[in-house]
Chain A
Amino acid sequence: MKTSFELNGKNVSVDTPEDATLLWTLRERLKLTGTKFGCGIAACGACTVHLDGTAVRSCSMPMAAVAGKQVTTIEGLSENNDHPLQVAFQDEQVPQCGYCQSGQIMQAATLLTSNSSPSREEIVSHMNGNLCRCGTYNRIIKAITKAAEEGQS
């Protein structure tokens, strides 16, 4: 099955089995491995990408649902690792093992597009589906708050 869509600003067309998901297509066919496999059942958020600007779990997104849409992965979030969230996550030294962090950043990015100064509660409720086993939650909240503030100034 062939699926065409826009990936990080470029048109791509990819051949997959019928039952392929966006996650494994990104990772194994298009070699964009920043999007991570954590659970495969939309229960951890490690695989979060943007589909037409909305944060979705790519592990549970069939390729058919991607046709003609715009997909952004962590690799396409910024050119130079300088999206305000990427900068803030570095400044706050958020990642530990780092495996959940692409998903955290992609999830957070959609919050900041709709809410330029989210409260702590708004951050937590937006981010609550993204697990971090290393327990970096407190720093994630700090980094998102900081990125929002930077955007304000």
Chain B
Amino acid sequence: MMKNKQRGMSRRQFLATTGGATFFIGGYCLLPGCTTDSGAEAKEVLKKEVNVWVKLASDNQVIIYTPAAEMGQGSMTSVPLILAEEMDADWSKVKILSSPVEAETYGVGWYPGGNKNMTTAGSRTIRSYYQLMRETGAQIRASLLQNAAEKWQVSVEELTTKPGFVIHEASDSSMSFGEIAEFGNFESLPDMAGVKLKDPKDFKLVGKVLPRYDIPSKTNGSATYGMDVHLPGMLYGFISRSPVHGAKPELTNEEEIKNMDGVVSIVTLDHGVGVVCQSVEAGLKAKRQMKINWGESLMQSHNSEEDMNAYTTDGASETKHEGDVAGALKNVAKVHEAIFTNKYVYHAQMEPLNAVVSVAADKQSAEVWIGSQAPDGAKSAVAQTLGIDENKITVNQLFLGGGFGRRTLPGYAAECAALAKSVDKPVKLIWKREDDVSYGAFRPQVKHFFKAGLDKDGKIISWDHTAVGPGGGLSNGGASVAHYDIPNVRFMRKDVDHGIRTKHWRAVGHGPHKYAVETFIDQLARANNKDPYLYRLEMMQSNERVRKVLERAAEMSNWDPTPKDGRAMGIAFADRDSFSCGVAEISLNRDTGVIRVHKYWCAVDAGVIVQPDNAVAQVEGAVNMGISSTLKEQIDVKDGKVVQSNFHDYPILRMSEAPESIEVALIDSDESPEGIGEAGLPAVGGAIASAFAALTGKHLYDMPFTPDKVLAVLNS
């Protein structure tokens, strides 16, 4: 049967030499007071590798390596927590380190047979690691029992554990995990076939309210992000990137730039020109002074608004068809049609992109410090840029100041490698916020064409949805009504290439699609004089699990479809692997067009919840980010250039705009865990649009619902 023991991680693999200095990896220090796992401090305290995930120290410390990027979603705590649960570790003795970036060892395949990867995205971490961490923890526990049994000369059956100890009840003896570390043999761990997992009823850590491991370091400035890395002699890199994506640069004042104070090197890339300088100030100045002629590119003819207006369904192809949509339409009582649009959206993660790369003097190896959602991807990109083998690259994963999908792209690591290669010192590449916006990779704009056929009672018999826009598969996610009982369903898709970069953005296609799908369903309910909550519930008769989510949201919000005192409630449902239902209570300033969300309720069924308080926090955050993207955020493209540049013209939600309360209910569940980082987001747009319709009798067809658009709708 399965043997979990993965060996072959030699000490040498934890070392990388760059520029004459030796850095230790295998857990770059992210946290205060944490020493890197260099072995230098291990004089008295013995640390024994149990397997690639765990080291046991004779002082009872348990070191657990976490494979996931920590970008705010909390999996730095929850993945090790699952392992510690099954291992019966004393959580107060656990120290968490970032695992080495070795996808074969620490990665998981997303699909059976899929390549192992270390990408942290799509709310997949807990789903992907839950079983593996349980088994690994249980296997380690079994090994601890076995070692203790041999020591005590008793049978394993007589032993049990309590957190941090193996217990022999018959003789009233106990042995700490640290003691076992001193003599234990972990060369071959017990076969999984004989290892039992805990009954979830006995969980002591999973499902309990425990503080997150990373939080103390995030209240005193000691948490280390990519941006915070300092290396001796480090230089600073800045890049002027093509204002129109795809345009190639020609620097026309190279001599002038070269002669500027503090400029060390100039590097021309495919998509921009980089400078490496002695200081941030010199870099910023050189970047400002560069004069670049840009070539032609496909994107230069892209005008987001005009192009979207011109989208049609002509040439769309079918991605799904159940029943017979065209046939069903012949026999329905009424047909409704509507078109919804959503604009490009920018990630706006709080920490602009950055990386540090140090290339060895012989250019044959390199070390990278980065906060990346795909550190293995960053490793490949750096290897490719330097033209050397991947196993010559060491990547140190740091905290991410937000990711939301943007940090899965490895481009910033490759850029930094290209700059670092041109000098003999380490380079810190810094993106200005303006770079981050204008060279962003956006959630795609989509135009949704709907046609629904209803019977005389208003029940949906036929559903036809065509989505048009750039972004390929990114725009498909969430285009689904799978949890409604609709017999005839068709989805069509037309991809448009504007030359613009698009990228996963928290909840991917579900943000825009659930807004459109749910708002259309809401319209159908209202057009047939039905309560939009009950209307949905009636269509969920065959699915108890989702129905419960809806019922819970209605119950906790005291659902009332009738507006009162200038406020109205709206509702929407979303499936993003997890199920969620959001209820928004809004008011509207009819003079300014400003929509205010006063209260928000969200019920979520995400299966087993590992860290309940963090799950609630994730939903709160996702709701706020959902409100932000629903009411405020829009990227415009004019003649291929991104119009917005920083927070003054790309405003995101402020504290005064957050709801006065966000109430979250997590449905109790034994189902396998789904994601929680995105779950709260997709229903927000539909819930707000639904509330607006209740309040005004009018519909919002274009997201975001900025005041100008709201006023136009009110006056229509």
A and B from one assembly?
A: yes
User: Which residues of A are in contact with B by a Cβ distance under 8 Å?
Assistant: 16-17, 19-20, 24, 27-28, 31-41, 43-44, 46, 73-75, 77-78, 81, 85-86, 89-90, 93-102, 105, 120, 124-125, 127-141
Report how far A135 CA is from B230 CA in the complex, Å.
29
Q: Does B652 contact A (CB under 8 A)?
A: yes
CB distance from B382 to the nearest CB of A (A): 23
Q: Smallest CB-CB separation from A31: which chain B residue?
A: B230
Residues in B neighbouring A20, C-beta threshold 8 A: 279, 281
Mark contacts of B211-231 with chain A using CB atoms, 8 A cut-off: 1 yes-contact digit, 0 otherwise: 110111111111111011010
* Top 9 A-B residue pairs of the complex, sorted by shortest distance between their CB atoms: A34-B221, A135-B624, A99-B401, A98-B218, A97-B72, A96-B72, A135-B621, A74-B221, A33-B228
A20-B214 Cα distance, complex, nearest whole Å: 32
B27 at the interface (CB under 8 A from A): no
Q: Are A36 and B227 in contact (CB under 8 A)?
A: yes
Instruction: Taking A99-B350, A131-B350 as given, write out 14 further A-B residue pairs in contact, using a Cβ cutoff of 8 Å, ordered by the A residue number.
Output: A33-B227, A37-B352, A37-B430, A74-B220, A89-B215, A90-B215, A95-B215, A95-B219, A96-B74, A99-B351, A120-B660, A124-B656, A133-B349, A134-B350
**Closest chain A residue to B278, Cβ basis:** A17
Q: Does B115 contact A (CB under 8 A)?
A: no
B661 adjacent to A138 (CB under 8 Å): yes
Contact between chains at B655 and A101 (CB < 8 Å): no
Residues of A within 8 A of B430 (CB): 37
Binds A, one of B458-466, B482-490, B612-620: B612-620
Check B646 for interface membership: any CB of A closer than 8 A.
yes
Does B348 belong to the interface (CB within 8 Å)?
yes
CA A76 – CA B618 in complex, angstroms? 30
**A–B complex contacts, Cβ < 8 Å, 14 sampled:** A27-B228, A28-B279, A78-B220, A93-B211, A93-B613, A97-B72, A98-B217, A125-B656, A131-B652, A133-B348, A134-B625, A137-B658, A138-B658, A139-B620
Q: Determine which of A33, A38, A100, A138 lies in contact with B662 in the assembled complex, contact meaning CB atoms within 8 Å.
A: A138
Judging by beta carbons under 8 Å apart, are B211 and A73 in contact?
no
Main secondary structure of the interface of B (DSSP, over half): loop
CA distance in complex: A95, B647 (Å): 21
Q: In the complex, how many angstroms separate the beta carbon of B440 from the nearest chain A beta carbon?
A: 14
Out of A28, A86, A131, A135, name the residue touching B219 (CB < 8 Å). A86
Q: Which chain B residues (388-429) contact chain A, with CB distance < 8 Å?
A: 399-404
Please tell me if B433 contacts chain A, counting CB pairs below 8 Å. yes
User: Which residues of chain A are near B614, meaning CB under 8 Å?
Assistant: 93
Q: How far is the CA of A140 from the CA of B351 in the complex (A)?
A: 19
B695 within 8 A of A: no
Question: What chain B residues lie within 8 Å of A24 (beta carbons)?
Answer: 279-281
Is B655 a contact partner of A41 (Cβ separation < 8 A)? no
Is B218's CB under 8 angstroms from A38's CB?
no
List of A residues within 8 angstroms of B617 by Cβ: 93, 96, 136, 139
Q: Is the CB of A89 within 8 A of B402?
A: no
With both beta carbons as reference points, the residue of chain A lying nearest to B399 in the complex is identified as A98
B284 to chain A, nearest CB (A): 8
Determine how close the nearest CB of chain B comes to the CB of A111; give it in whole angstroms.
Answer: 12
Report A104 CB to chain B, min CB distance, Å: 9
For B655, give the chain A residue with the smallest CB separation: A137
With A24-B281, A135-B624 known as contacts, the answer to whether A97 contacts B402 (CB < 8 A) is yes
Chain B residues closer than 8 Å to A31, beta-carbon distance: 230
Distance (whole angstroms) from the CB of A127 to the closest CB of chain B: 5
Residues on the A chain within 8 Å of B501, using CB: none
Of A43, A96, A102, A134, which is within 8 A of B221 by CB?
A: A102
* B568 interface hit (Cβ, 8 Å): no
- Whether A17 contacts B281 by the Cβ 8 Å rule is yes
CA distance A95 to B660 in the complex (A): 19
A38-B433 contact, Cβ under 8 Å, with A93-B617, A97-B399: yes
Does the CB pair B402–A133 fall under 8 Å?
yes
Q: Which of A35, A74, A86, A140 contacts B655 (CB 8 A)?
A: A140
Q: Contact check, A96 vs B646: say whether CB atoms are below 8 A apart.
A: no
> Is the CB–CB distance between A97 and B220 below 8 Å?
no
Is B647's CB under 8 angstroms from A44's CB?
yes
Residues in chain A near residue B215, CB distance under 8 A: 89-90, 93-95, 98
Chain A nearest CB from B403 CB (Å) reads 8
> Contact at A96–B656, with CB atoms within 8 Å?
no
In-complex Cβ contact of A43 among B282, B401, B648 (8 A): B648
Q: Chain B residue with minimal CB distance to A125?
A: B656
The verdict on A75 contacting B221 (CB below 8 Å), with A28-B279, A97-B401, A134-B350 known, is: yes
Of A28, A44, A81, A137, the most chain B CB neighbours within 10 A belong to: A137
B433 touches A35 (CB 8 A): no
Query: Which single residue of chain A is at the shortest CB-CB distance from B433?
Result: A39
The chain A residue with its CB closest to the CB of B649 is A43
Decide if B350 touches A133 in the complex (CB within 8 Å): yes
> Are B280 and A28 closer than 8 Å at their CB atoms?
yes
Distance between Cα atoms of A141 and B216 in the complex (Å): 18
Whether B654 is near chain A, meaning CB under 8 Å from some CB there, is yes
Give chain A residues whose Cβ lies under 8 Å from the Cβ of B224.
33
The chain A residue sitting closest to B262, CB to CB, is A17
CA distance A131 to B351 in the complex (A): 12
Contacts of B236 in A (CB 8 A): 28
Nearest A residue to B616 by beta-carbon distance? A93
B584-632 residues at the A interface, CB under 8 angstroms: 613-614, 617-618, 620-625, 628
Indicate if B128 sits at the interface (CB-CB under 8 A): no
Interfacial chain A residues near B230, Cβ < 8 Å: 28, 31, 33
Shortest Cβ gap from A33 to chain B (Å): 4
Structural contact, B227 and A39, CB atoms closer than 8 A = no
